Amino acid sequence: MPHRGNLNRPKLFPTFNTSVKQCLCYFLALLVAVLLIVNGSHAQEKKPELESWQLKGIVTALDDHDPLVWVEALDKLSRYKLDQLKPPVEIPKQTIDKIADLLAYKHKTDHDRKSVQSKVRASAVQALGEMGAAAYKYAPQIAELLTDEDSDVSLSAALTLGKMGATASEYISKIAKLLIDSDGNVSRSAAKALGQMGVAKDYAPQIAKLLTNSDTDSDIRASAASALGQMGVAKDYASQILPLLTDSDSSVGSSAGWALGQMGAAASEYFPQILELLTDEDSDVRYNAIEVLGEMGAAASEYFPQIIERLTDSDSRVRSNAAWAMSKMGAAASKYARQILPLLTHSDRDVRSSAASVLGQMGAAASEYIPQIAKLLTDSDNHIPHRAAEALGQMGAAASEYVPQILPLLTHSDDRVRANAAYALAGMGAAPSQIAPQILQLLTESDWNVHYHAASALGEMGAAPSEYAPQIIPLLTDSDSSVRDNAAEALEKMGPLQVKHLLSVLNQVYWYHREAPSLRFLAYFLSGGEKDSVRLIHWLGSPEKYPHEIQVINHQEGLEVLNLFAEIWEDTQSLSKLRKDLERQIAIVVDKVKWEQADMDLLKQHHDNLKSIDSQLAAAVNAQIVALERQHRFLIAFKVWLIHVSCWLFLIIIYPRSSQVQGLIWNWKFRTIVGLGYISLALTWIPWLRYRLLAPFREVLVADASLDSFDPQAYFPNSYVKIRRATHTQPIQTAIAQLQSPIVLEGESGLGKSMFLRNLVKTSGRLSVYLPASECAAGVVEGIQTKLPIAAHDPKFLQSLINYNTLDICIDGLNEVSPDTRATINTFVEHHVHGHIILTTQPLEWTPPATAKTYVLQPLKRQQIAEFLTSRQGILPEDAPVSGVEYEQACDDYLATQLHQTQSKQELTAVRRFLSNPMDLTLVAQLLAQGKDPDLLNLQQQQYEIMAEDYQQIHLCAFPLAEFAETVYQMRLHDQITIPEEGCLDELQCMERYKMVLTRQQKDAFGGTHREWYFRHDKIQEYFIVQTFLKTENRERQHEHLSDPRFRGVYLLLATLLEVDKALVLREVLIQSAAETKDHAVSDQFIQRFNSRQELTQTTNNHGVLALYQKHYQDLIEIARLQASRLITVENNAMSDSTSDYHHSNYHSKYDQRQSQHRFNNFVDATQSEFNQEIDSQTQNNYAPEKNQTLSEAAAEIQGLLKQLEQSNPNATDLEKTAFVNIAIPASTKQRLLSALESGGKEALRELLDNPYVNVGMAIVEGWQNP
């Protein structure tokens, strides 16, 4: 507004009568009237200083989630002087940044989106505009809002940039575009901004031309006059402006008067003309003249008497303007106050009112007239008392000495008099305690005038004591906005309020939701940012979002909130709406937070409070209390349990080092009673505990594996396996890298099954148990239990540990046990489908567990054989005669001689059968290192002889083979694996040097140690056992153990050690036994070894044997002529030398046998045709051609052979008789006999045989018919 009270001032955009005038003058009028009319600052009300508590309250309000609360906070902030703040009152940088961020605020909800968004942006711009230099850096963001669709935002942006002055000069062009905005407020704001930037002064001459242009619209002339006044250049154009005072358009005259008034003393030369206008007959002219003098202020004080006369003007507008003009002159006009005094009793109320107003505006200078003014408080006219009260109030503290004279009016019978007296006293600086009760009482009156004046008094009153806050707070929701504003002002003067007073403010929110943003901001503001007060505002007073909706309430926050709620509980008793919300928030906080036992008293306090008012929410709090009590009981139980568990953990920790603790834990009564039942479950369910229980017995569990004597270099890891009935082979280390499920490892003796198990046990890193299959006769668990005597107290517990795969179970030598034991082991494996179990066995007729995967260990191939031999250097004696490069060369040479291309397929197969066995290869390596030539058929014999020779050199006596062999036989017979040391210590020590036996230290029950001896491999033990089978007096043992799997390896040795004929007889016996038992494992491998022996013998001695048969050719012819008895007798005599030589120490290789044990078979192979011719011509009992063959001849031949066998061996069994006849009669002869039998029939043959030979003879023939 250009000046006070001009209600008819020109519009910024005047209305043109014609389109021509609009086209000609629009832009110029707009530019001049708008830009220059505001090119200067009006006298603005002085802004208050911002206090620290006020700033804190405003800043905390900006953290609320209601954007309208932000608007209230920003508007409040804009009312303070912000550009020169000094510590400690400074706006935090983060707060300024937050306000700047609101420049781009976008409201998230559809409801009132544009309105709320615009209010936030506009308020943020205004707040930044008051901050001075602190907001300069945000000018670009503010400039963007110049084009905002909301006019409030754009005009605020323009005004703010205008305040920045030259700093925002780059945005002048954007601001100028707003000058033609359709919204007049936006245009005026833009003009004012540009004026503040000092960019419109160059247009003053053009504006002045508009003053005298008759074609110019009156609105434009009025605007031009005002603009010149604002620019401060009116004195240059005063002569042109003065005539406008009498312009027929009142707005033009008023604007001209205001412009001339801005000249001050410079307009003194025009006073005569102006004074003349004071008496002009036109009231508008008189009004304009007074306007000029009033705007001049003290410079026109000498004309005060003339203006006083206008107080009695017939026009009220003139009277009012005269009073205003005199008030503008201030103390300079005080000397004329006495002239005004009579007017206080003027008959015209307007005159009285104006006189009182003038005296009031003189302030302290007119204080001596307070008594006279005070009398007007009781004036019968409603308007006069108020004006008098206003005048007294304007005098301020200067009139304080008259307060006692006015105080009695507070008890006047007339409510209006009391209200005006209160208003006057408030302005005069009366103590709030003196007038506050009366003011509050007046505010309860129904009369609007009383209500209004009491509210005004409340606003004018100084800082009242805070105890009046509860009476003032309800006025915040009064229907009269002036009452609300004055009540808020009164509260603000009280400074930060206590929490209990803020409750009343927040309670008003529930009654008047439309005022919620302003009330909630007022609460923030009056809190002064105090922590508890702010927390209370967050939780109560219908916030936009409650804290629990924004984030999870932690325990500390919940505890502080509940404590605060407990403190205010009594204070909310009279605040019904807030009390209801408080009940809900208590229940929510109790529900959202995880409480601790220490909070029990607080929860009970709230429960009692809610229960005392019969709140339904008490049950929710009680539920939490019950849960907490239950939790407390649980915690007590848990602590007891922790102590219990700790004690058990202590026992578990010392368990490996204390046998007493081991005994306690393995005692099922102690474990069940003291362990409360769950300890046993934990010990079996938790892997670490299971491992802990058995870890102390690790060495005992694998004692049979002799890991202390296990040399990793002795293990050959490059063996291959394949799944049974599969063709693909794979490295054993890949196939069985770790035990995950039951596995059966099948392989010939000596292929390395036991070595693999020992290596697996040593390197797996898991707890393992190594069991010879013989120890599982009573069951696998029982076998493990024998290694753990402590488990005897609770075998079921041990079973549970095993069921949970605590142990890798390795069972070795399944082929050495009875079928019943194998069945027991099978049952165990099938019951442990996922058990970590591995079984090793040699090939035998049995059905592996259905749940197990069977791998067949493959013999070594040519490359593996070479690698194996080379790798043995690491385990050979350091003083071996052949070592290093010489040893490697010896290995290559030996393999070259044994595996060469000129060999027959049968011979090569036989050699590889021996060399592909790692056990045999180990013996070969030892022999090569000793410089010996290994004999594949008698490797163990060679090893024994080397050892025996060393023994004889040391002890000067022969090794007691027979006695030691019998001891070993008895060990096998009684399933003993340890060699008795007593009586054979020297022998064992000698054998140990040659790696035939090994020893390990064992602890006895009393803690002492003793030594135990074991054979390094079953093959070594079987070598000694077979010696007892070869003795004549023990020949029955060959038949006693046919079905005993423990002696399987012994029978395989007999295939190479027995004389050929006896080996053939034993072969037939094994075949017959296999037919009866359906177990062909031994018989099949016996035949393979026997055939390999034959192949090797035949190949090695091919030339020697041929010479031998030529030498004895005549003898064989003679033998062929004799009866079959003569043939057998000679043959037996011829073989006797070989049998006797077998046990001598000067051993001859089986390759060099030249005794008659080979005569029959090798003669048939070497000189069959010649020998048969001789036999055909000279032997009477020899068979004729097939057409001459008769049953009688066949019967005589069979019967003759059986008679001769009786003479040489009266105790021969039926099996031996059958084998003897089968060997003696060639296959071709058998075929001829079968042809004759087809024509004659079996009964004819039966009649031809003598009675003692009928059964055997018929069985022999039936065997030929059904091979």
pLDDT tens-digit readout, 265-317:
666 677 777 777 777 878 888 888 888 877 777 777 777 777 777 777 888 78
Among candidate residues 562, 567, 628, 566, the one with its CA nearest the CA of residue 595: 628
Name which residue leads in pLDDT, 442 or 1013.
1013
pLDDT range class, residue 6, cuts 50, 70, 90: very low
For residue range 678-696, what is the model confidence (pLDDT) as tens digits? Answer: 888 888 888 888 888 888 9
The highest-confidence range among 437-451, 734-748, 1225-1239, by mean pLDDT, is: 734-748
Which helix H or strand E contains 1255, and what residues bound it?
A: helix 1254-1265
Report the pLDDT averaged over residues 63-82.
Answer: 90
* Three-state DSSP state, 763: helix
The percentage of the chain sitting over the pLDDT mark of 90, rounded to a whole number, equals: 18
Rounded to the nearest 5°, which phi and psi values hold at 544?
Answer: -60, -40
Separation of alpha carbons 403 and 425, rounded Å: 6
Among candidate residues 440, 446, 386, the one with its CA nearest the CA of residue 417: 386
Residue 1267 identity (one-letter amino acid): P
> What is the residue-wise DSSP string for 204-256?
HHHHHHHHH-TTS-HHHHHHHHHHHHHHT-GGGGHHHHGGGGG-SSHHHHHHH
Dihedral of CA 865/867/871/876: which sign?
positive
pLDDT of amino acid 520: 92
Count CA within 13 A, CB hemisphere, residue 904: 10
Is 75 within 8 Å of 126 (Cβ atoms)?
yes
Name which residue leads in pLDDT, 85 or 187.
85
Residue 88, preceding peptide bond in cis (omega within 30° of 0): yes
Separation of alpha carbons 412 and 416, rounded Å: 9
Separation of alpha carbons 1151 and 1097, rounded Å: 5
Looking at every residue in the chain, the average pLDDT score rounds to 77
Burial of 820 (0-12, 13-18, 19+ CB in 10 A): exposed
Residue 589: pLDDT above 90?
yes
Residue 29: pLDDT above 70?
no
Q: Which of 341-355, 741-755, 1010-1024, 1060-1074 has the lowest mean pLDDT?
A: 341-355
Domain covering 340-462 in this structure, CATH number? 1.25.10.10
pLDDT of amino acid 921: 85
> What is the residue-wise DSSP string for 932-964?
----GGGHHHHHHHHHHHHHHHHHSS---HHHH
Residue 862: pLDDT above 90?
no
Q: Which of 361-375, 492-506, 610-624 has the lowest mean pLDDT?
A: 361-375
Is 922 within 8 Å of 1101 (Cβ atoms)?
no
Domain covering 45-196 in this structure, CATH number? 1.25.10.10
Report the pLDDT averaged over residues 499-507.
Answer: 88
165: left (phi over 0), alpha (psi -120 to 50) or beta: left
Q: Which of 423-437, 748-762, 839-853, 942-956 has the lowest mean pLDDT?
A: 423-437
pLDDT of amino acid 1147: 35
CA angle 750, 756, 761 (to 5 degrees): 140
Residue 588: pLDDT above 90?
yes
CA angle 654, 687, 659 (to 5 degrees): 25
Is 74 within 8 Å of 127 (Cβ atoms)?
yes
Burial of 1110 (0-12, 13-18, 19+ CB in 10 A): exposed
Report the pLDDT averaged over residues 759-769.
Answer: 89
Rounded to the nearest 5°, which phi and psi values hold at 738?
Answer: -155, 145
pLDDT range class, residue 1251, cuts 50, 70, 90: low
- Considering the entire predicted model, what is its pTM? 0.52
pLDDT of amino acid 1263: 74
Rounded to the nearest 5°, which phi and psi values hold at 772?
Answer: -65, 140
Residue 196 identity (one-letter amino acid): Q
Count the neighbouring beta carbons within 10 Å of the beta carbon of residue 680. 18
For residue range 399-419, what is the model confidence (pLDDT) as tens digits? Answer: 667 777 777 777 777 776 777
Which helix H or strand E contains 477, and what residues bound it?
A: none
Among candidate residues 368, 412, 415, 416, the one with its CA nearest the CA of residue 392: 368
pLDDT range class, residue 364, cuts 50, 70, 90: low
The two three-digit tokens of residue 1045, written as one number: 């799997």
End-to-end CA distance of the chain: 137
Residue 748: pLDDT above 70?
yes
Q: Which of 212-221, 334-343, 1101-1110 has the lowest mean pLDDT?
A: 1101-1110
Separation of alpha carbons 412 and 408, rounded Å: 7
- Report how far Cα 1187 is from the mean position of its chain's Cα atoms: 95
Q: How far is CA 1238 from CA 26, 369, 815, 1190, 1218, in A?
A: 147, 171, 44, 11, 21
Separation of alpha carbons 53 and 458, rounded Å: 22
The percentage of the chain sitting over the pLDDT mark of 70, rounded to a whole number, equals: 77
For residue range 1151-1179, what is the model confidence (pLDDT) as tens digits? Answer: 333 333 333 334 334 333 433 433 343 33
Q: Strand ranges (DSSP E) for 729-820?
A: 729-731, 743-746, 768-772, 808-812
pLDDT of amino acid 1002: 74
Burial of 1076 (0-12, 13-18, 19+ CB in 10 A): exposed
pLDDT of amino acid 4: 44
Count the neighbouring beta carbons within 10 Å of the beta carbon of residue 449. 16
pLDDT of amino acid 599: 92
Burial of 43 (0-12, 13-18, 19+ CB in 10 A): exposed
Q: How far is CA 650 from CA 123, 643, 646, 647, 766, in A?
A: 70, 10, 6, 5, 24
CA angle 652, 657, 663 (to 5 degrees): 65
pLDDT range class, residue 429, cuts 50, 70, 90: low
Report the pLDDT averaged over residues 818-847.
Answer: 90
* Three-state DSSP state, 170: helix
Separation of alpha carbons 1264 and 1258, rounded Å: 10
Q: Which residues contact 994 (CB under 8 A, 6 or more apart)?
A: 926, 943, 946, 947, 950
Report the pLDDT averaged over residues 761-781.
Answer: 90
Which helix H or strand E contains 409, and what residues bound it?
A: none
The highest-confidence range among 101-105, 998-1002, 1214-1218, by mean pLDDT, is: 101-105
Ordered by start, the domain boundaries in the chain are 45-196, 340-462, 547-636, 697-858, 860-934, 1183-1267
> What is the residue-wise DSSP string for 4-61?
TT-TTPPPSSPPPSSHHHHHHHHHHHIIIIIHTTTSSPPP-PPPPBPPHHHHHHHHHH
* CATH fourth-level superfamily of 697-858: P-loop containing nucleotide triphosphate hydrolases (3.40.50.300)
Is 333 within 8 Å of 18 (Cβ atoms)?
no
- Report how far Cα 836 is from the mean position of its chain's Cα atoms: 32
The two three-digit tokens of residue 554, written as one number: 């932690």
pLDDT range class, residue 856, cuts 50, 70, 90: very high
Is 239 within 8 Å of 246 (Cβ atoms)?
no
The highest-confidence range among 325-339, 817-831, 915-929, 1187-1201, by mean pLDDT, is: 817-831
pLDDT range class, residue 223, cuts 50, 70, 90: low
Residue 1030: pLDDT above 80?
yes
pLDDT of amino acid 1107: 43
For residue range 778-790, what is the model confidence (pLDDT) as tens digits? Answer: 999 999 988 888 8
Q: How far is CA 830 from CA 118, 820, 827, 840, in A?
A: 81, 15, 5, 16
Residue 622: pLDDT above 90?
yes
Name which residue leads in pLDDT, 523 or 215.
523
CA angle 733, 736, 741 (to 5 degrees): 165
Establish whether domains 45-196 and 340-462 are of one fold: yes
Count the neighbouring beta carbons within 10 Å of the beta carbon of residue 549. 10
Q: Where are the alpha helices (DSSP H) in 702-794?
A: 732-735, 753-763, 780-787
Give the 3-state secondary structure percentages of the chain, helix then strand then coil, rounded to 5. 70, 5, 25
Separation of alpha carbons 828 and 843, rounded Å: 20
Name which residue leads in pLDDT, 1200 or 556.
556
pLDDT range class, residue 236, cuts 50, 70, 90: low
Q: Which residues contact 1175 (CB under 8 A, 6 or more apart)?
A: 1117, 1120, 1182
Separation of alpha carbons 136 and 139, rounded Å: 5
pLDDT of amino acid 281: 79
pLDDT of amino acid 912: 78
Report the pLDDT averaged over residues 107-127.
Answer: 83
For residue range 171-187, what is the model confidence (pLDDT) as tens digits? Answer: 888 887 776 677 767 76
Residue 1103: pLDDT above 50?
no
